[in-house]
């Protein structure tokens, strides 16, 4: 638990603290990457889900502190994305779980790293200037239609 919170929450906070002085007098944005496990209970994800949820709360607090300095802080919650991490945490049942996710995702697929990179790029653009302290769920509609992971 200590390691997971240190990497996820403390790592995000320290990175933000180090970035803020570099952004003084220039355009800067901070974007955290959360995870679907902050929205519902997934097997073997209790600690990571709690850490990602804490990161989302920290995003809101940092946004209120840094917005007056011209530094928007937001987060992206990407749902299931085809990555090594997803395969690792999915374990031996990953392919079966992925197939289930695809069946209940309106877009009919899991995300790609490029899908999430485009959302992050948007949050870093001038077009997102008015977005402050939000966690954008970019999951192909999964959270709209999927049953609770506990069901």
Structural domains in the chain? 2-145 (3.40.50.720)
Identify the pLDDT of residue 98: 94
Identify the pLDDT of residue 149: 52
CA dihedral 24, 7, 42, 117 (to 10 degrees): 40
Q: Are 111 and 79 in contact (CB under 8 A)?
A: yes
- Name the residue among 144, 37, 150, 151 with its Cα closest to residue 89: 37
How many CB atoms lie under 10 A from the CB of residue 56? Answer: 18
Identify the pLDDT of residue 89: 78
Identify the pLDDT of residue 147: 63
Consecutive 10-residue averages of pLDDT for the chain (151 residues): 95 98 92 90 82 97 97 96 89 92 95 98 97 98 74 48
């Amino acid at each position: 638990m200590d390691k997971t919170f240190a990497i996820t929450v403390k790592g995000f906070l320290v990175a933000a603290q180090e970035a803020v002085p570099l952004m003084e007098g220039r355009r800067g944005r901070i974007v955290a990457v959360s995870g679907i496990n902050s929205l519902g209970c997934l097997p073997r994800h209790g600690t990571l889900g709690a850490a990602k949820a804490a990161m989302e709360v920290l995003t809101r607090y940092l946004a209120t502190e840094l917005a007056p300095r011209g530094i928007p802080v937001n987060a992206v919650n990407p749902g299931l994305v085809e990555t090594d991490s997803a395969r690792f945490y999915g374990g031996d049942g990953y392919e079966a779980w992925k197939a289930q996710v695809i069946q209940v995702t309106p877009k009919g697929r899991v995300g790609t790293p490029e899908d999430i990179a485009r959302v992050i790029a948007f949050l870093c653009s001038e077009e997102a200037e008015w977005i402050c302290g939000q966690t954008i769920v970019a999951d192909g509609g999964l959270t709209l239609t999927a049953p609770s992971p506990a069901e």
